[in-house]
A and B are shown apart, each in its own frame.
Chain A
């Protein structure tokens, strides 16, 4: 069973609990989440380990892990956790703290670019997101071009940026609900 967080890092556990729910504290380390996860084999720390580290208040190690950025949000863990924990929400909470503290690795910034675009225009335009991500990550250019070759002749890429009529309403959602 996990140790209780030291006072110094208790704030971290509290923040995760605030965002992902109090069930996190009840984890029995059964590993159902790790076993159900389609990308666990690629993670440096498996979902079960991430939760253990959070309960132990090991903030720095958790924020350095690549695991949250490999979560596909498939929710297999969510429907299976015997304690009703939402490990997907735990991973999201870790990502949000990384974003707030400026600790998102550049090659993992796809989510950030996506979110910025939704915040600004209310809609996601895939071409712009992929383009911006490719600019920041030259390694992904080949993939972006391959997809472009599939999509452009089929007119499935719109170069026009989609926008809602009332973007101020979207801005307000991000501002008001993004507050701690």
Chain B
């Protein structure tokens, strides 16, 4: 309640002071998704969004915890650590926190889960970095220092960004990412695979199957003329970026499309440098794209 009042007041004052959010980086921020974490922190700092890392956060369970109640418990423990709205840059964490918040509205579930928690859950507001950034940019579009000058970008949502229903956008035909791409003065391609699963959750147990799915997404994006693919999920990123070379080898075909986290794409448009955005640790180098954007700007 207090949060809502505070938000309302902030809104009326034009929110010149910027936002304050609890930040849930997720496990991959320490490993395969380092550039997601780096670029999220850099972009938020540039947009005056203050992030407070969630105290002693734990894994959300990703897609690998079979017991539904344990999964809710893991997410609820995270959400109980703060009174601020919680922001995560990871589509999987976002989906899990959101699902759990909904399950916690069932009195039986809340009672049972709270009995297992040290700090009790009493409600939460979960946001994805995409939505936070869009809000900040809409208030202050002048922050875009380097317009992306028609760069052709494939908007790739993957599965969990919009699922279950009731989140940031429609699970069948989301368009929020296209809007952001246009705001940055890039051009979203019409990408029919945009909500298709990347195969990531079964990449260990069903390697070939998972790679087939990822290949379809990559080749479709390339055929449609994408100069970059933008994603919001570290597992999608791993499948499309880190595994792109292996997929090329097995297919005997060059793809060579860089895959950027949405925060990296926004960061480029804000004029942030490659180190701040982790652009040098992507597998398929996005530097040619960055150079192109800068050349057209100069």
Contact = CB atoms under 8 A, between A and B. Distances in A.
Nearest to A127: B31
Contacts of A147: 238, 242-243
B64 interface: yes
Given A114-B62, A178-B70, A72 B201 contact: yes
Contact of B116 (A162, A166, A172): A172
A4 interface: no
A173 B62 contact: no
Nearest to B234: A126
Interface in A153-177: 154-158, 162, 164-166, 169-170, 172-177
B64 A115 contact: yes
Interface stretch (A6-14, A23-31, A48-56, A89-97): A89-97
Contacts of B57: 164
A74 interface: yes
Interface stretch (B15-23, B126-134, B164-172, B176-184): B164-172
Interface string B191-222: 00001110111111111010001000000000
A156 B32 contact: yes
Contact of A114 (B64, B195, B207): B64
Main secondary structure of the interface of B (DSSP, over half): loop
Contact of A42 (B31, B63, B200, B206): B206
B118 A169 contact: yes
A114 B33 CA distance: 17
B29 to A, nearest CB: 10
A99 B67 CA distance: 10
Contacts of B120: none
A173 B164 contact: no
A118 B74 CA distance: 10
B197 A126 contact: no
Contacts of B145: none
B62 A124 contact: yes
B66 A93 contact: yes
B9 interface: no
Contacts of A20: 68
A111 interface: yes
A177 B70 contact: yes
A134 to B, nearest CB: 9
B27 A73 contact: no
A79 B171 contact: yes
Interface residues of A, number: 60
Contact of B27 (A162, A169, A174): A162
A141 B148 CA distance: 41
Contact of B160 (A75, A150, A166, A178): A75
Given A111-B64, A140-B207, A176 B31 contact: no
A64 interface: no
Contacts of A156: 31-34, 281
Interface in B36-82: 56-59, 61-70, 72-74, 77
Contacts of A173: 70, 73-74, 77, 116-117
B200 A170 contact: no
Contacts of B245: 150
Contacts of A92: 66-68
Interface in A101-117: 107-108, 110-111, 114-115
B286 to A, nearest CB: 13
A110 B203 CA distance: 10
Contact of B159 (A76, A130, A177): A76
Given A38-B199, A42-B206, A151-B242, A76 B163 contact: yes
B287 interface: no
19 contacts: A69-B202, A75-B160, A79-B171, A95-B66, A110-B64, A111-B65, A114-B64, A118-B58, A147-B243, A151-B32, A154-B34, A157-B32, A158-B30, A172-B118, A173-B73, A173-B117, A174-B73, A175-B116, A177-B69
Closest 3 CB pairs between A and B? A74-B159, A176-B116, A73-B63
Interface of A: 19-20, 38-39, 42, 69-76, 78-79, 89, 92-93, 95-96, 99, 107-108, 110-111, 114-115, 118, 122-127, 130, 133, 140, 143, 146-147, 150-151, 154-158, 162, 164-166, 169-170, 172-178
